[in-house]
Amino acid sequence: MDMTPPSWLAELRDDPELSEALELTWLDEEQSPEVRSRFLETWDQIPFVEGFHQACRARLERSVPLAIGTRRYRRLSRSECALVLLLDPERPEQPWVSLSRAMPPALWVRGAPTGPGLRRRLAPYLVPQPPPLAELGRTLRIAKPIEVDDPSLVTRVIEGYEPWMDDATWASGHADDPWADLEPEFDMLTMHVMRQRSLEEHPGRFPSTGFRSLWSRSAMIIQRMPSRGWVFELRYQPADDAQTLRELEAQLGEALPAHDLPVDLVASILRGGTLLPQEVDRHCEDDPQAMHAKVSTEPAEPTSFALLERWMQRSHDDPGLLPALAELASGHGFDALLFELALRLPPDDALRRELEDVLRPQRPQLPLEEGT
Amino acid sequence: MMDVRLTTAPVGSAELERVAAELGLERVERSPWTHGIVSLRWAGTEGRALSAGMDAASGAVLLVITDPAGELGERLSSRLPCETVEEVLAHAREAQEPRARIRAVHRLSTLLLATALPKEPVLDAMGAVLLDDEPLVRWAAARLLQFRADRRTEALLAAAVQRHDDLAPTFERVHQACEEAEDGTLHDGPTDDRHELLRRAREGVEAGQWRRVVRAMDALLAEVPDHEEGLLLRALAHEHAGEPLQALALAAAAQAEVEGSLDFLVRYREHNGDDRGSDEIEDKQAFLARVAEHRPRLEAALEALPGDGDEEVAAALVDWVGRWGYHTAARAAASRVLLERLPSIAGLLALEAGAHGGDVALLRRAVDWVPDAPECRLALARALEPSDVAAAITVYGDALRALEIPEQERSALAQRIADTRDSSTRASRVDVLEALARCTYEARRWDEAARHADALVELEPDRTLGWQIRANARIFGERLEEAAEVLADTLAALERLAAQDELGFGEDPRPGMRFNWSAVLAKLGRRPQALEQLRHAVRGDAKWGDEARGDDFFASLWDDADFGAIAAGEAAALILDEERAPGFIEGLVSRAIGSSHLGREEEAIAGCERAITLGGALGRADQVAKAHAVKARTQAFAGDLDEALEGSRIAMEGLERVSPDDRAEVVHTRGVVLHQARRFDEAEAAYLHAQAIRREQQGEGHPVLAKGFGDLARLAADRGDEPSRVAAIVEQGLQLLDGWLADQTRPRDDTWLEAQVDACTLQVNRGHVLRSAGELRAAVEVMEGAAGRIEELVGHGGSPSPAFLDNSAQLARTLAQSAPEPELRQRAQEVLARLETAQLDGSPEEIAERLFWRRLRSLARRQRALGVTDAAFAEVLRRALRGELRPQEIEVAPELARIPAEMSARTQRYPRLVVMAAMSLSLVESGGSSIDEALENLEELCVSSLYVDEDELS
């Protein structure tokens, strides 16, 4: 292995504008191994698939931390996440940039050998303030086949293992990130009130937890769907890391749902597998899991309505499927389909009677206490 | 120009995005799915915009096109299959088949999403569907209309209900929503947020939506019945409802409450002489000005009201009086304004109005109106007391007689008065008797006072005043023999109440009553008892010594030397008889040692000082030396080294008189104090001296000697001796303990536990020594042994101190970070995990339970480090549960062999664990969970099963 320092290192070190813009502190020969050992210490605690974990560790072991730069802080716990420039001796053409010690090294951002180039490459990750969700041009909804029921398990994993995701989260009661308008420094009382409010669920929406990434300021809204599935809604501005993502796909042996995703969103969807939208589209007419995924990722869409309608029509040959389809329609608000299904069933059919019980006009239930 | 259309084919958002982009529009908004609807909005140049509402119910998309040029609608239609509003209405009219009618009515409903669209034609078309003879069709229409709150929909439903009564629930719902929309309460969900309730009521007053005011303020006042603004706003709602009596009553109550608190604030500010509370005063004044605006109008309305209020108003006021409880200003003010208007409860109103401020005339009227209500007589007596005690005593007597009438035989109003009070404010025999005892005592009517107090303590033995009057009235009535007996009971009662912390506010009455008792005994010539009680009194408060020297009840003792010494407060003279008893001082020292170990230093030092005083006075040099030693040790660790050195020196002076059992401890304490003072060589000599005494008394192998080695090693380390010397001393201690603990026949008693604690301490110290010498592998090995010892100790109910565990964990952490080899770091990490486990709180069973699971997790982590995946380990565990382990697996991880038996024991306690464990481990195998999570969950289940039934767990 060539141990000669790459030529760009001196150029970057001597670029005061770069150091100022990225708040870089260059590491000396003693500090660099210490930083690497902290990286390793953290990485060893992060669970991932065995082979992938090992490959990432190998990259960490051979790489040389060069400088520590901009820090971002979670809004509640104030725990920090620092940007670190590294040299990978096997790929020394340019520096690599880690956005968190807990993030897989496979997702280090490819830097550039010049100061202006490096700043350009990192611009999508140095968004200063979280923009409103509407300003995040891309929306991607992906189904995640996670076999857990308790949403807190999912959020705990993110809060525990993904420090690049902010811990100021929000529930479905908020169509946008309620923390975004707040000054970065807020007092305990404000925090307490905001925590309470941010946890409010909207009775007419799917229960959800919204996260904001600290670097690209993208949003990831995790929804628990009525079909018991999980949907991750990703709201982001496109990033230019397609090459890194393709290499990651090769390393994982799995495809990613898009190649314009910022790496700090990709790092949060790696666990638990993903049903790719293109695969869902391909199989949704004949595979119940794909059909569920289609309806969950595209709720309220006429295309989902039509898909479910086709499944209901076909299911007259397999009436065992109808109750599940009716439940899916009910959970997603496809009311016309429910009425039409009831109409098609014979009057003495058990499912029809169940549907009629649901669809018949009813008085609102009184909120009586138990025992009254 | 605005154009509204509805899609006629399944168009998804991707298609919409594509078309919008083609039309030069950029997306600016996308809502979350809400009640089945997702909204999107795009904007373009020159005011062009497109909104789309995807409606899950109909499967259609509502398109609202804004384009000043008027061409966007056509361009859109050419790209997306859609129809106009007129076409949707026409198709709805033409729909024949029930299924088509269902689809049509849903499409009509989607049109209602367009806010700017005239709703009437669409609603009328949906109204026609409500009349459909096919239930599912009309139910579909009803379901779509059920959340509307407009009168047109209500009328359509009213007409439909005439034909199909199954639509009645929908009609009722819409009717109520219409009412609430007009009241402004449609979106007022349940809340207990006071600010929100006030906001609603204020908005309601502004908008004249009085039902909104009533609903919000009734909710607020249910929680806070004296809320000033709440009362005022509720009063205004009463006024609007044509209820001037209630309006005036509540406004008066609000005003009285504010006046009361304003008066307090002003006086408080005057007292402080600064401007604190000014903002609050201004707020109160502004509120009073606000009430003043309304009050004349409310009074005028009351004047204009013909006749009196009815029973409903009376009941409401009685209810308020009860709810206001201790807020007597509010009760009085509301009652006073209605006094002449509610004859059916005039007695109650006079009582309320008169009791606040002591209006005797009004209270006499109350008594006249409700003579059988004891509350009226009690209030009158209290009002009379300051000016005419004799009259008050008479009325209290009347109250006592009124209380003798059974409640159910009293008049209805008397019962109603009682109902407005809770058990603590209702007139009671206890209150009246106490008042009678107090008044007759103050009036020097001693026999009566004694009689009332006797009755009082019999009825309520927890009132201190009753006991005091009972005794003192007899003393002043010169019934001294009786008084002496009664005082014995009184002091016993006061001590009992003091132990229960129920003596009440103010000065402790016990020293005074001891003095009185002493005086009576002296007068009766009972010298020893009199002196003993005087000792108590003077120890409680020295002033009683002076009092005794001037009180002629003590005349017979004035020349008595003991009396003189007691009255002068001489320490030796103040020793009580019980304190001279054998074992008393030993008990004090023993309790001081306990307090010192628990960190209650002041308590420990006070106990030692008492023991030193008593021991000195009684010639108990052994206990004095021991108490000095305990005090010195406590002071040394509290940082008061000078005092500690002096104390330990004094203790050593008395060493020869200390019992052989305690002698080593006194010398050792001297060593501890010198050690703290960093006088190492002297400390070492003292430690060695103590060791020699212990050897002589306990024998060479006794575990108590290990403590000495521990301190000697610590001393050597602190002095900077060679590590090898420190290590050698630690080894000596450990060898001794290992030898003693090796005897398995020893009972697991306190000595065994203490030896085990000492062994843990020495072992960790050995780890420190090795680490500082750079022998990290040996240090890790030693710490592994230490962790095992600590676990064994915990398993036998021992509890190492948190500070020791922190210290041990810190060493393990340091090793985990600094060991060069990964394998060694991993082992140190394991030790750390085990030590952290040992810090768990809980019952011994819970700790044992947690230890089992933590060890299992530790095993899983070790296996993971060796390349075993979570899924593979879960699979092995699942087989272990079934007893199907393979020999090579047990060879690799011997801990696995114990799992079937351990799990079997748990399953007996919690049968469902079999299923839960299998499920959790399957989840790990499928990648849905980590082994850590699964084992943590199972741990919590098993721990819970220790405390609750399985049914509760499920």
Which residue, B450, B483, B451, is CA-closest to B469? Answer: B450
Most A CBs within 10 Å: which of B37, B136, B823, B870, as the mutation test of the A interface? B136
Report the complex ipTM: 0.91
CB contact under 8 A, A306 and B56: no
Look at residue B721 in the predicted model and tell me its pLDDT: 82
Q: List pLDDT tens digits, range A247-261.
A: 999 999 899 999 999
Name the strands in the sheet holding A230-236, side by side, starting at the edge strand that comes first in the sequence: A138-144, A230-236, A219-224, A208-212, A170-171
Look at residue A1 in the predicted model and tell me its pLDDT: 42
Residues 6+ apart with CB under 8 A from B244: B238, B298, B301, B302, B304, B305
Kindly state whether B58 is in contact with chain A, defined as any CB-CB distance less than 8 angstroms. Answer: yes
Instruction: Tell me how far apart the alpha carbons of residues B864 and B860 are, in angstroms, rounded to a whole number.
Output: 6
Instruction: Tell me how far apart the alpha carbons of residues B168 and B187 are, in angstroms, rounded to a whole number.
Output: 23
Q: Where are the alpha helices (DSSP H) in A144-187?
A: 151-161
Q: Report which of residues B160 and B893 the model is more confident about.
A: B160
Q: List pLDDT tens digits, range B702-712.
A: 888 888 898 89
Q: Report which of residues B722 and B57 the model is more confident about.
A: B57
Q: List pLDDT tens digits, range B362-372.
A: 999 999 999 99
Q: If contacts are CB pairs under 8 Å, which of residues 99-138 in chain B contact chain A? A: 99, 102-103, 106, 134-137
Which residue(s) pair with A67 in the sheet?
A26, A85
pTM of the model: 0.57
**Which of B128-142, B456-470, B625-639 comes out lowest in average pLDDT?**
B625-639
- The residue extents of the domains of chain A are 7-125, 133-276, 300-359
Q: How many CB pairs under 8 A join A and B?
A: 136
CB contact under 8 A, A361 and B146: yes
Residues of chain B with Cβ-Cβ distance to A273 below 8 Å are 927
The three state secondary structure string of B826-879 is HHHHHHHHHHHHHCCCCCHHHHHHHHHHHHHHHHHHHHHHCCCCHHHHHHHHHH
Look at residue B950 in the predicted model and tell me its pLDDT: 47
Count, in order, helices (H) and strands (E) of chain B. 48, 6
Mean per-residue pLDDT of chain B? 89
Which residue, B631, B594, B640, is CA-closest to B610? Answer: B631
Most B CBs within 10 Å: which of A52, A232, A237, A339, as the mutation test of the B interface? A339
Most confident of A200-209, B837-846, B943-952: A200-209
Kindly state whether B9 is in contact with chain A, defined as any CB-CB distance less than 8 angstroms. Answer: yes
Percentage with pLDDT > 90 across chain B: 55
Most B CBs within 10 Å: which of A136, A335, A358, as the mutation test of the B interface? A335
CB contact under 8 A, B56 and A300: yes
What's the whole-number mean pLDDT along residues B198-223? 94
Residues of chain B with Cβ-Cβ distance to A147 below 8 Å are 923, 926, 928-929
pLDDT over 90 (residue B793): no
Tokens 């000396």 belong to: A28
Structural contact between residues B628 and B609, judged by C-beta atoms closer than 8 angstroms: no
Query: Rounded to whole angstroms, what are the CA distances from B365 to B351, B414, B943?
Result: 8, 14, 68
Task: Give me B65's structure tokens.
Answer: 């096109």
> CA-based diameter of chain B, in Å?
125
Instruction: Please calculate the CA angle B902-B905-B909 and round it to the nearest 5 degrees.
Output: 140
Kindly state whether B516 is in contact with chain A, defined as any CB-CB distance less than 8 angstroms. Answer: no
CA distance A305 to chain B (A): 5
Task: Give me A301's structure tokens.
Answer: 């869409």
Most B CBs within 10 Å: which of A156, A354, A360, as the mutation test of the B interface? A360
Name the strands in the sheet holding B49-55, side by side, starting at the edge strand that comes first in the sequence: B26-30, B37-43, B49-55, B60-66, B2-7, B82-84
What does the radius of gyration of chain B's CA atoms come to, in whole angstroms? 44
Residues of chain B with Cβ-Cβ distance to A301 below 8 Å are 12-13, 38, 54
What's the whole-number mean pLDDT along residues B281-290? 93
CB contact under 8 A, A300 and B33: yes
| Helices B244-272, B228-240: crossing angle, 10 deg rounding | 160
pLDDT over 90 (residue B601): no
CA distance B876 to chain A (A): 18
Which residue, A102, A35, A104, is CA-closest to A66? Answer: A35
CB contact under 8 A, B923 and A336: no
The pLDDT confidence band at residue B954, using thresholds 50, 70 and 90, is very low
**Domains, in order of start, for chain B:** 2-183 (no CATH), 194-388 (no CATH), 508-574 (no CATH), 580-699 (1.25.40.10), 722-839 (1.25.40), 844-953 (no CATH)
What's the whole-number mean pLDDT along residues A183-190? 69
CB contact under 8 A, B12 and A202: no
Nearest CA in chain B to A174: B32
Give the length of chain A.
372
Nearest CA in chain B to A297: B33
Residues of chain A with Cβ-Cβ distance to B168 below 8 Å are 361
